[in-house]
Structure 1
């Protein structure tokens, strides 16, 4: 088989998996037009339409579905064979794409990416952050990081570090007018800013102490899915914020924020890196997992 044939088949495989020329191009490191050209050439050579294209969507024809079912295992075997060469290198070679929530990526991955890059100079690490729920298979990621949400079937989850926890914080000016709450029940007498999932759904503040779990649903004047914004609102005296401890760490240390209910905010043991169970674990992904577990 000619190199051009294999390149065209790889382009088709990427488009078929992602249902997108743009995402296929991002995975392959080329433009969407280059991917489209390769697939068009492939269809012209075999004389059969493999993809149905509209301005909004891409779908497989019956012929395309049959070809993909045969190609995917073959490309998996090729990937495994190429990755097997890493045993003859000092460090892994290749690319690892990771998806992580924007709200925690900086303090989960930030402390380790330098060590990971230094220990694996031949490894290209690509991290894409977003708080929306991502289908890592469809969008071409090797692995994702989640905060304990349920995973769909066919995924393997590995518990990783660090253990995160929430903090309830307010400004000194805010607490100059109100007493510090001692229990979650005391929050009823405070202005409590609301937390949103990226979907817009509000979520409760969760507390636990001595095995006792308590939820509090805030009704304050501001709601956001951005912890940075909630911290800024708390700094301005707008109310109490329920944010990741790491987001408020500097302001707490400098006295610009005051923490309350700390005994009720226990470290969470629910941070996971996950990947498709059937996917071959490359040496690069294995290096990422080992470092995040340490």
Structure 2
């Protein structure tokens, strides 16, 4: 059968749905409505004469025909993407869309300070930033790159450092510390109210400390558990308890006296933020420009 213009558009929609196994997530990536995707897929299936997807209220899976089609057409569309991206070399100004999946603190501390300058320099490059601490496969999720702390970057990806190492500190409000006292050793935390950190894989984080050759990883008693440091920060400012933070996130509150650091002689320095992306895909021009600008401005040092 001969391919037509509608088939090309609908195949792009189909590939996004196949990657995400979700109409709603594919719609977010493509910038269209779920009803648009549903209508397009029905049209494609009718023209091809086969069912490509099994759809229920809870899941989307590929049929045998859908799996075969996705495997066959994915590479040609990747080649087209590369060909279109090379056109940026011939434009007066780069254009395109960059999708990033980043740790929440990275969006706040690393990207937010550089976004105004990026938009000013490259107004035709659209940034689509998804801030989440949930670990995802950026390639399968349709992202151009991810940004995470260095120690959590997948090993099969190309990674580039975007910040200096980050010190991790325990902080609490003066109100809390005046009421419950100041810990002088990590083990003292076992007798304090703490706000725990839930990691992207749902594990509760063990607070890590080091002094000289001594290292301690402590599962603290939790009054509250959060999956975003910003949520815990609001609670800690309100006197709920102590929390383990990346120091840049609390620096201004320490400076103005709203928070105090404790156990600073036990505070470890860990790998900073890294950007990572697949080695199998050409780096989009917009992504390269974003990396260059972060390194130029260095909001968290380098």
TM-score (norm 2): 0.86
Are residues 18 and 38 of structure 1, via their aligned partners in 2, closer, same or farther at CA, if it must alter by over 3 Å? same
Are residues 150 and 101 of structure 1, via their aligned partners in 2, closer, same or farther at CA, if it must alter by over 3 Å? closer
Cα distance in structure 2, aligned partners of 1:201 and 1:126:
28
- In terms of mean alpha carbon deviation, does 24-33 or 187-196 score higher? 187-196
Instruction: Please state how far the C-alpha of 1:80 moved relative to its aligned partner.
Output: 0.5
Instruction: Please state how far the C-alpha of 1:73 moved relative to its aligned partner.
Output: 0.8
Match runs of 1:223-234 below 5 Å:
223-234=225-236
Q: Which residue of 1 aligns with 2:26?
A: 24
Q: Which residue of 2 aligns with 1:4?
A: 6
- The answer to whether the Cα contact below 8 Å between 1:190 and 1:240 also exists between their aligned partners in 2 is yes
CA deviations 1:151-202 (Å, max 9, x no partner) are 5564222222153322212222333356544443444554444333355532
Tell me, which stretches of 5 or more residues in structure 2 are unaligned?
A: 297-302
Instruction: Please state how far the C-alpha of 1:223 moved relative to its aligned partner.
Output: 3.1
Are residues 69 and 200 of structure 1, via their aligned partners in 2, closer, same or farther at CA, if it must alter by over 3 Å? closer
Cα distance in structure 2, aligned partners of 1:139 and 1:204:
29
Cα distance in structure 2, aligned partners of 1:273 and 1:202:
24
Instruction: Please state how far the C-alpha of 1:268 moved relative to its aligned partner.
Output: 2.0
Instruction: Please state how far the C-alpha of 1:150 moved relative to its aligned partner.
Output: 4.5
Q: Which residue of 2 aligns with 1:148?
A: 150
Q: Which residue of 2 aligns with 1:100?
A: 102
Instruction: Please state how far the C-alpha of 1:75 moved relative to its aligned partner.
Output: 0.6
The number of equivalent residue pairs is: 294
Tell me, which stretches of 5 or more residues in structure 1 are unaligned?
A: none
- The answer to whether the Cα contact below 8 Å between 1:116 and 1:291 also exists between their aligned partners in 2 is yes
- The answer to whether the Cα contact below 8 Å between 1:76 and 1:280 also exists between their aligned partners in 2 is no
Are residues 10 and 220 of structure 1, via their aligned partners in 2, closer, same or farther at CA, if it must alter by over 3 Å? closer
Q: Which residue of 2 aligns with 1:75?
A: 77
- In terms of mean alpha carbon deviation, does 252-261 or 51-60 score higher? 51-60
SS of residue paired to 1:259 = strand
Match runs of 1:82-93 below 5 Å:
82-93=84-95
Q: Which residue of 1 aligns with 2:300?
A: none
SS of residue paired to 1:176 = helix
Q: Which residue of 1 aligns with 2:138?
A: 136
Are residues 172 and 64 of structure 1, via their aligned partners in 2, closer, same or farther at CA, if it must alter by over 3 Å? closer
- Aligned alpha-carbon RMSD (Å): 2.5
Instruction: Please state how far the C-alpha of 1:136 moved relative to its aligned partner.
Output: 2.0
Instruction: Please state how far the C-alpha of 1:266 moved relative to its aligned partner.
Output: 3.5
- In terms of mean alpha carbon deviation, does 231-240 or 244-253 score higher? 231-240
Are residues 24 and 237 of structure 1, via their aligned partners in 2, closer, same or farther at CA, if it must alter by over 3 Å? closer
- In terms of mean alpha carbon deviation, does 217-226 or 58-67 score higher? 217-226
- In terms of mean alpha carbon deviation, does 275-284 or 230-239 score higher? 230-239
Are residues 240 and 28 of structure 1, via their aligned partners in 2, closer, same or farther at CA, if it must alter by over 3 Å? closer
- The answer to whether the Cα contact below 8 Å between 1:86 and 1:93 also exists between their aligned partners in 2 is yes
SS of residue paired to 2:159 = strand
Residue of 222, 225, 235 corresponding to 2:237? 235
Instruction: Please state how far the C-alpha of 1:107 moved relative to its aligned partner.
Output: 0.8
Cα distance in structure 2, aligned partners of 1:61 and 1:261:
56
- The answer to whether the Cα contact below 8 Å between 2:169 and 2:267 also exists between their aligned partners in 1 is yes
TM-score (norm 1): 0.88
Cα distance in structure 2, aligned partners of 1:61 and 1:232:
47
- The answer to whether the Cα contact below 8 Å between 1:91 and 1:119 also exists between their aligned partners in 2 is no
SS of residue paired to 2:283 = coil
- In terms of mean alpha carbon deviation, does 271-280 or 124-133 score higher? 271-280
